[in-house]
Protein backbone atom coordinates (compact mmCIF):
# COMPACT_ATOMS: atom_id res chain seq x y z
CA UNK A 1 0.00 0.00 0.00
CA UNK A 2 1.44 3.38 -1.05
CA UNK A 3 2.08 5.91 1.69
CA UNK A 4 0.65 9.38 1.02
CA UNK A 5 2.84 12.46 1.41
CA UNK A 6 -0.11 14.05 3.24
CA UNK A 7 -1.30 11.06 5.20
CA UNK A 8 -4.90 11.26 6.40
CA UNK A 9 -5.10 7.73 7.74
CA UNK A 10 -7.05 7.50 10.98
CA UNK A 11 -7.05 4.94 13.76
CA UNK A 12 -10.42 3.82 12.36
CA UNK A 13 -8.80 3.10 8.98
CA UNK A 14 -6.11 1.01 10.66
CA UNK A 15 -8.75 -0.94 12.60
CA UNK A 16 -10.85 -1.54 9.47
CA UNK A 17 -7.91 -2.76 7.35
CA UNK A 18 -6.60 -4.96 10.16
CA UNK A 19 -10.14 -6.18 10.89
CA UNK A 20 -9.94 -5.35 14.59
CA UNK A 21 -11.59 -2.81 16.86
CA UNK A 22 -10.23 0.71 17.34
CA UNK A 23 -9.67 -0.08 21.03
CA UNK A 24 -7.38 -2.97 20.05
CA UNK A 25 -5.32 -0.65 17.85
CA UNK A 26 -5.19 1.83 20.74
CA UNK A 27 -3.96 -0.87 23.13
CA UNK A 28 -1.14 -1.76 20.71
CA UNK A 29 -0.14 1.89 20.28
CA UNK A 30 -0.19 2.66 24.01
CA UNK A 31 0.87 -0.76 25.27
CA UNK A 32 -2.04 -0.62 27.73
CA UNK A 33 -3.40 -4.15 27.39
CA UNK A 34 -2.08 -7.52 26.33
CA UNK A 35 -2.76 -8.25 22.67
CA UNK A 36 -1.78 -11.50 21.00
CA UNK A 37 1.49 -11.44 19.06
CA UNK A 38 -0.34 -12.33 15.84
CA UNK A 39 -2.80 -9.45 16.18
CA UNK A 40 -0.08 -7.03 17.26
CA UNK A 41 2.05 -7.90 14.22
CA UNK A 42 -0.96 -7.49 11.90
CA UNK A 43 -1.75 -4.05 13.31
CA UNK A 44 1.86 -2.89 13.19
CA UNK A 45 2.10 -4.03 9.57
CA UNK A 46 -0.98 -2.00 8.65
CA UNK A 47 0.43 1.04 10.48
CA UNK A 48 3.68 0.73 8.54
CA UNK A 49 1.94 0.29 5.20
CA UNK A 50 -0.48 3.18 5.67
CA UNK A 51 2.00 5.51 7.35
CA UNK A 52 -0.48 6.15 10.13
CA UNK A 53 0.71 8.71 12.71
CA UNK A 54 -1.15 9.08 16.03
CA UNK A 55 -2.73 12.48 16.65
CA UNK A 56 -0.66 13.47 19.67
CA UNK A 57 -2.53 16.73 20.19
CA UNK A 58 -5.89 15.00 20.40
CA UNK A 59 -4.39 12.36 22.66
CA UNK A 60 -2.95 15.05 24.92
CA UNK A 61 -6.27 16.86 25.17
CA UNK A 62 -8.03 13.63 26.07
CA UNK A 63 -5.47 12.71 28.75
CA UNK A 64 -4.63 16.28 29.86
CA UNK A 65 -0.99 15.34 29.26
CA UNK A 66 1.29 16.33 26.39
CA UNK A 67 4.36 14.27 27.35
CA UNK A 68 6.48 17.42 27.01
CA UNK A 69 8.46 19.49 29.48
CA UNK A 70 9.97 22.95 29.20
CA UNK A 71 13.65 23.50 30.07
CA UNK A 72 14.80 27.10 30.59
CA UNK A 73 18.54 27.67 30.99
CA UNK A 74 19.96 31.01 32.16
CA UNK A 75 22.98 30.79 29.84
CA UNK A 76 23.08 27.96 27.33
CA UNK A 77 26.70 28.82 26.44
CA UNK A 78 27.84 28.16 30.00
CA UNK A 79 29.84 24.92 29.99
CA UNK A 80 28.31 23.87 33.32
CA UNK A 81 24.89 23.38 31.75
CA UNK A 82 25.92 21.12 28.87
CA UNK A 83 26.03 17.92 30.93
CA UNK A 84 22.98 19.03 32.93
CA UNK A 85 20.92 19.51 29.75
CA UNK A 86 22.09 16.17 28.32
CA UNK A 87 21.15 14.28 31.49
CA UNK A 88 17.72 15.94 31.66
CA UNK A 89 17.04 15.15 28.01
CA UNK A 90 18.17 11.54 28.33
CA UNK A 91 16.04 10.89 31.40
CA UNK A 92 12.95 12.51 29.88
CA UNK A 93 13.27 10.65 26.58
CA UNK A 94 13.78 7.40 28.47
CA UNK A 95 10.42 8.02 30.13
CA UNK A 96 8.63 9.01 26.94
CA UNK A 97 8.83 12.80 27.31
CA UNK A 98 10.19 15.35 24.87
CA UNK A 99 12.07 18.46 25.99
CA UNK A 100 11.55 22.03 24.74
CA UNK A 101 14.83 23.90 25.41
CA UNK A 102 15.16 27.70 25.62
CA UNK A 103 17.84 30.16 26.74
CA UNK A 104 16.74 33.08 28.95
CA UNK A 105 20.09 34.85 28.41
CA UNK A 106 19.98 35.67 32.16
CA UNK A 107 17.18 38.13 31.39
CA UNK A 108 14.18 37.82 33.76
CA UNK A 109 11.75 39.43 31.28
CA UNK A 110 12.79 37.04 28.52
CA UNK A 111 12.61 34.18 31.01
CA UNK A 112 9.01 35.09 31.82
CA UNK A 113 8.05 35.21 28.14
CA UNK A 114 9.56 31.75 27.62
CA UNK A 115 7.65 30.40 30.62
CA UNK A 116 4.39 31.83 29.26
CA UNK A 117 5.10 30.31 25.84
CA UNK A 118 5.76 26.89 27.36
CA UNK A 119 2.55 27.02 29.38
CA UNK A 120 0.58 28.08 26.30
CA UNK A 121 1.90 24.93 24.66
CA UNK A 122 0.59 22.90 27.60
CA UNK A 123 3.89 21.44 28.77
CA UNK A 124 3.41 19.02 31.66
CA UNK A 125 6.12 20.65 33.77
CA UNK A 126 9.11 23.01 33.75
CA UNK A 127 12.77 22.77 34.78
CA UNK A 128 14.24 26.23 35.28
CA UNK A 129 17.72 27.63 35.89
CA UNK A 130 16.69 31.02 37.34
CA UNK A 131 18.03 34.48 36.56
CA UNK A 132 19.09 36.88 39.29
CA UNK A 133 15.60 38.45 39.44
CA UNK A 134 13.35 35.48 38.77
CA UNK A 135 11.33 36.06 41.95
CA UNK A 136 9.84 39.30 40.60
CA UNK A 137 8.87 37.89 37.22
CA UNK A 138 8.58 34.17 36.54
CA UNK A 139 8.26 33.44 40.26
CA UNK A 140 5.04 35.41 40.50
CA UNK A 141 3.78 33.82 37.28
CA UNK A 142 4.28 30.28 38.58
CA UNK A 143 2.73 31.11 41.97
CA UNK A 144 -0.55 31.70 40.14
CA UNK A 145 -0.43 28.47 38.14
CA UNK A 146 -0.71 24.83 39.08
CA UNK A 147 2.20 23.44 37.11
CA UNK A 148 5.05 21.27 38.44
CA UNK A 149 8.39 23.08 38.44
CA UNK A 150 11.92 22.12 39.47
CA UNK A 151 14.66 24.73 39.86
CA UNK A 152 18.32 23.87 39.21
CA UNK A 153 21.61 25.58 40.09
CA UNK A 154 20.51 28.83 41.73
CA UNK A 155 18.11 28.54 44.65
CA UNK A 156 15.19 30.91 45.00
CA UNK A 157 12.54 31.38 47.67
CA UNK A 158 9.85 30.14 45.31
CA UNK A 159 7.32 27.35 45.10
CA UNK A 160 8.75 24.20 43.58
CA UNK A 161 11.57 21.74 44.10
CA UNK A 162 15.29 22.49 43.73
CA UNK A 163 18.31 20.38 42.74
CA UNK A 164 21.92 21.55 42.76
CA UNK A 165 25.39 21.47 44.30
CA UNK A 166 26.36 22.15 47.89
CA UNK A 167 28.39 25.36 47.55
CA UNK A 168 29.31 26.63 51.03
CA UNK A 169 31.26 23.67 52.42
CA UNK A 170 32.80 22.85 49.04
CA UNK A 171 34.22 26.35 48.67
CA UNK A 172 35.45 26.31 52.27
CA UNK A 173 37.35 23.08 51.55
CA UNK A 174 38.85 24.52 48.36
CA UNK A 175 40.01 27.64 50.21
CA UNK A 176 41.46 25.58 53.05
CA UNK A 177 43.40 23.51 50.53
CA UNK A 178 45.20 26.69 49.44
CA UNK A 179 45.73 27.73 53.05
CA UNK A 180 47.29 24.32 53.77
CA UNK A 181 49.84 25.07 51.05
CA UNK A 182 50.86 28.25 52.88
CA UNK A 183 48.75 30.86 51.13
CA UNK A 184 47.35 33.71 53.22
CA UNK A 185 46.67 36.34 50.58
CA UNK A 186 43.98 34.63 48.50
CA UNK A 187 42.00 36.58 45.92
CA UNK A 188 38.45 35.49 45.11
CA UNK A 189 37.02 35.99 41.61
CA UNK A 190 33.30 35.71 42.31
CA UNK A 191 30.44 35.18 39.93
CA UNK A 192 27.48 37.52 39.56
CA UNK A 193 26.60 38.92 42.99
CA UNK A 194 23.24 38.58 44.78
CA UNK A 195 22.49 35.10 43.47
CA UNK A 196 22.55 32.07 45.75
CA UNK A 197 25.47 30.20 44.19
CA UNK A 198 27.78 33.24 44.34
CA UNK A 199 26.85 34.26 47.88
CA UNK A 200 27.14 30.71 49.24
CA UNK A 201 30.62 30.35 47.73
CA UNK A 202 31.73 33.71 49.11
CA UNK A 203 30.53 32.67 52.56
CA UNK A 204 32.51 29.43 52.31
CA UNK A 205 35.62 31.40 51.36
CA UNK A 206 35.17 33.83 54.25
CA UNK A 207 34.54 31.03 56.74
CA UNK A 208 37.77 29.27 55.74
CA UNK A 209 39.77 32.48 56.24
CA UNK A 210 38.21 33.16 59.64
CA UNK A 211 38.65 29.57 60.78
CA UNK A 212 42.37 29.80 60.01
CA UNK A 213 42.90 33.23 61.58
CA UNK A 214 43.32 35.10 58.29
CA UNK A 215 41.86 38.61 58.19
CA UNK A 216 39.45 39.13 55.30
CA UNK A 217 40.54 41.78 52.80
CA UNK A 218 37.48 42.88 50.79
CA UNK A 219 39.86 44.35 48.18
CA UNK A 220 40.75 40.78 47.18
CA UNK A 221 37.18 39.94 46.15
CA UNK A 222 36.62 40.44 42.44
CA UNK A 223 32.95 40.88 41.56
CA UNK A 224 32.08 38.83 38.50
CA UNK A 225 29.69 38.80 35.60
CA UNK A 226 27.34 36.26 34.04
CA UNK A 227 29.02 36.55 30.63
CA UNK A 228 32.62 35.71 29.73
CA UNK A 229 33.44 38.97 27.87
CA UNK A 230 32.84 41.41 30.76
CA UNK A 231 34.35 38.88 33.18
CA UNK A 232 37.60 38.77 31.21
CA UNK A 233 37.91 42.56 30.84
CA UNK A 234 37.05 43.42 34.44
CA UNK A 235 39.16 40.63 35.92
CA UNK A 236 42.29 41.71 34.04
CA UNK A 237 42.00 45.28 35.31
CA UNK A 238 41.52 44.20 38.93
CA UNK A 239 44.30 41.59 38.90
CA UNK A 240 46.68 44.14 37.41
CA UNK A 241 45.91 46.56 40.26
CA UNK A 242 46.25 43.77 42.84
CA UNK A 243 49.68 42.79 41.57
CA UNK A 244 50.84 46.38 41.95
CA UNK A 245 50.37 46.52 45.73
CA UNK A 246 53.02 45.50 48.25
CA UNK A 247 51.01 42.68 49.81
CA UNK A 248 49.69 41.21 46.57
CA UNK A 249 47.85 37.88 46.47
CA UNK A 250 49.69 34.61 45.95
CA UNK A 251 46.62 32.62 44.94
CA UNK A 252 43.32 33.19 43.17
CA UNK A 253 40.07 31.25 43.43
CA UNK A 254 37.83 31.45 40.36
CA UNK A 255 34.30 30.87 41.63
CA UNK A 256 32.81 29.56 38.37
CA UNK A 257 33.93 28.46 34.93
CA UNK A 258 33.40 31.88 33.32
CA UNK A 259 35.63 33.49 35.94
CA UNK A 260 38.21 30.74 35.33
CA UNK A 261 38.50 31.84 31.72
CA UNK A 262 38.71 35.48 32.77
CA UNK A 263 41.40 34.79 35.37
CA UNK A 264 43.55 32.53 33.16
CA UNK A 265 43.39 34.93 30.21
CA UNK A 266 44.22 37.90 32.43
CA UNK A 267 47.21 36.15 34.01
CA UNK A 268 48.51 35.13 30.59
CA UNK A 269 48.23 38.67 29.21
CA UNK A 270 49.97 40.05 32.30
CA UNK A 271 52.77 37.45 31.99
CA UNK A 272 51.98 36.03 35.43
CA UNK A 273 52.93 32.35 35.45
CA UNK A 274 50.77 29.60 36.96
CA UNK A 275 51.71 28.17 39.41
CA UNK A 276 55.20 29.72 39.68
CA UNK A 277 53.92 33.27 40.26
CA UNK A 278 50.31 32.62 41.17
CA UNK A 279 48.37 29.56 42.33
CA UNK A 280 44.95 29.19 40.69
CA UNK A 281 42.02 26.96 41.66
CA UNK A 282 38.43 26.91 40.48
CA UNK A 283 34.89 25.99 41.40
CA UNK A 284 33.77 24.03 38.29
CA UNK A 285 35.73 21.22 36.71
CA UNK A 286 34.72 21.54 33.07
CA UNK A 287 35.96 19.25 30.32
CA UNK A 288 38.66 21.71 29.38
CA UNK A 289 39.97 22.15 32.95
CA UNK A 290 42.46 19.31 32.48
CA UNK A 291 43.71 20.88 29.25
CA UNK A 292 45.22 23.93 30.94
CA UNK A 293 48.96 23.77 31.47
CA UNK A 294 49.45 23.33 34.33
CA UNK A 295 46.24 21.33 34.80
CA UNK A 296 43.64 23.11 36.89
CA UNK A 297 42.79 22.17 40.47
CA UNK A 298 39.02 22.41 40.70
CA UNK A 299 35.83 21.50 42.52
CA UNK A 300 33.96 19.11 40.22
CA UNK A 301 30.18 19.44 40.26
CA UNK A 302 28.16 16.27 39.51
CA UNK A 303 26.33 17.88 36.58
CA UNK A 304 24.93 14.64 35.17
CA UNK A 305 23.55 13.61 38.56
CA UNK A 306 21.95 17.04 39.00
CA UNK A 307 20.29 16.91 35.59
CA UNK A 308 19.08 13.34 35.98
CA UNK A 309 17.66 13.99 39.45
CA UNK A 310 15.91 17.19 38.32
CA UNK A 311 14.17 15.25 35.54
CA UNK A 312 13.25 12.38 37.87
CA UNK A 313 11.83 14.79 40.43
CA UNK A 314 9.80 16.68 37.84
CA UNK A 315 8.32 13.50 36.39
CA UNK A 316 7.36 12.41 39.91
CA UNK A 317 5.65 15.77 40.50
CA UNK A 318 3.77 15.53 37.21
CA UNK A 319 2.11 12.33 38.41
CA UNK A 320 1.87 13.18 42.12
CA UNK A 321 1.57 16.79 43.30
CA UNK A 322 1.39 15.88 46.99
CA UNK A 323 4.22 16.45 49.43
CA UNK A 324 6.31 19.46 50.39
CA UNK A 325 8.92 20.93 48.02
CA UNK A 326 12.27 19.17 48.18
CA UNK A 327 15.79 20.62 48.30
CA UNK A 328 18.29 18.09 46.99
CA UNK A 329 22.00 18.85 47.37
CA UNK A 330 24.81 17.00 45.62
CA UNK A 331 28.29 17.10 47.10
CA UNK A 332 31.01 18.22 44.64
CA UNK A 333 34.48 16.65 44.63
CA UNK A 334 37.81 18.44 45.02
CA UNK A 335 40.13 17.40 42.18
CA UNK A 336 43.74 18.38 42.98
CA UNK A 337 46.04 19.00 40.03
CA UNK A 338 49.14 21.14 39.46
CA UNK A 339 47.76 24.71 39.21
CA UNK A 340 47.60 25.20 43.00
CA UNK A 341 51.27 24.42 43.61
CA UNK A 342 52.72 27.91 43.65
CA UNK A 343 56.44 27.90 44.44
CA UNK A 344 56.47 31.59 45.25
CA UNK A 345 58.04 32.73 48.54
CA UNK A 346 54.94 32.85 50.73
CA UNK A 347 54.99 33.50 54.48
pTM, two decimal places: 0.78
CATH topology of domain 64-165+303-331: Rossmann fold (3.40.50)
Residues 84-121 have pLDDT tens digits of 999 999 999 999 999 999 999 989 999 999 999 999 88
**In this model, does residue 51 exceed pLDDT 50?**
yes
Q: Between β-strands 297-300 and 333-335, what pairing exists: parallel, antiparallel or unpaired?
A: antiparallel
Query: Which segments of the chain belong to CATH 1.10.260.40?
Result: 11-54
Query: What per-residue confidence (pLDDT) applies to 342?
Result: 53
Q: What is the pLDDT confidence band of residue 240, given thresholds at 50, 70 and 90?
A: confident
Query: Which segments of the chain belong to CATH 3.40.50.2300?
Result: 64-165+303-331, 168-301
Query: DSSP code of 334?
Result: E
Pick from 117, 124, 121: nearest CA to 138: 117
Pick from 83, 84, 86, 139: nearest CA to 111: 139
Packing angle of the helix pair 168-180, 196-211 (nearest 10 deg): 40
Mean pLDDT for 313-327 is 90
Residues 141-183 have pLDDT tens digits of 888 888 899 999 887 776 789 999 999 999 999 999 999 999 9
**In this model, does residue 81 exceed pLDDT 70?**
yes
- Reduce the DSSP state of residue 150 to 3 states and report it: strand
Residues 10-48 have pLDDT tens digits of 888 889 999 999 889 888 877 667 888 889 889 888 888
- Helices vs strands, H then E, count in the chain: 12, 12
Name, of 55-64, 289-298, 303-312, the range with top average pLDDT. 303-312
**In this model, does residue 52 exceed pLDDT 50?**
yes
Max distance between CA atoms of the chain, in angstroms, equals: 90
- Cα–Cα distance for residue pair 46/255, rounded to 1 Å: 58
Q: What is the pLDDT confidence band of residue 225, given thresholds at 50, 70 and 90?
A: low
- Cα–Cα distance for residue pair 179/24, rounded to 1 Å: 70
The domain 168-301 is placed in CATH, from the list 3.30.565.10, 3.40.50.2300, 3.40.718.10, 3.40.190.10, at 3.40.50.2300
More confident residue, 135 or 248: 248
- Check: CB of residue 42 under 8 Å from CB of residue 50: no
**In this model, does residue 308 exceed pLDDT 50?**
yes
Paired strand residues for 151: 128, 162
CATH topology of domain 11-54: 434 Repressor (Amino-terminal Domain) (1.10.260)
Q: What is the pLDDT confidence band of residue 343, given thresholds at 50, 70 and 90?
A: very low
As a residue count, the chain comes to 347
Q: What are the strands, taking DSSP E only, across 115-201? A: 125-128, 149-152, 161-165, 186-189
Query: What per-residue confidence (pLDDT) applies to 56?
Result: 58
Query: What per-residue confidence (pLDDT) applies to 231?
Result: 55
Task: Determine which of 74-78, 268-272, 275-279 has the lowest per-residue pLDDT on average.
Answer: 74-78
Task: Determine which of 53-62, 241-250, 294-303 has the lowest per-residue pLDDT on average.
Answer: 53-62
Average pLDDT, the chain: 86
- Cα–Cα distance for residue pair 72/81, rounded to 1 Å: 11
Paired strand residues for 306: none
- 190, containing H or E segment: none
Mean pLDDT for 217-238 is 72
Amino acid sequence: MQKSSENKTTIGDVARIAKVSKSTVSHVLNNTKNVSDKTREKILKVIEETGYTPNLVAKALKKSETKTIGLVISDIQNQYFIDVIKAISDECIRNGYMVFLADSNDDPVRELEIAKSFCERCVDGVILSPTANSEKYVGQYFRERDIPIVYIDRMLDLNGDWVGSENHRSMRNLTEHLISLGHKRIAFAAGLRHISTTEERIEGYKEALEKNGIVLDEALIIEGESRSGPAERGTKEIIERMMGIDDCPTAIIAANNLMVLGVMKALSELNIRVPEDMAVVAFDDCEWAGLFRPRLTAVAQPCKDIGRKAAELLLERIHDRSGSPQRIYFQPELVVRESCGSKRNIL
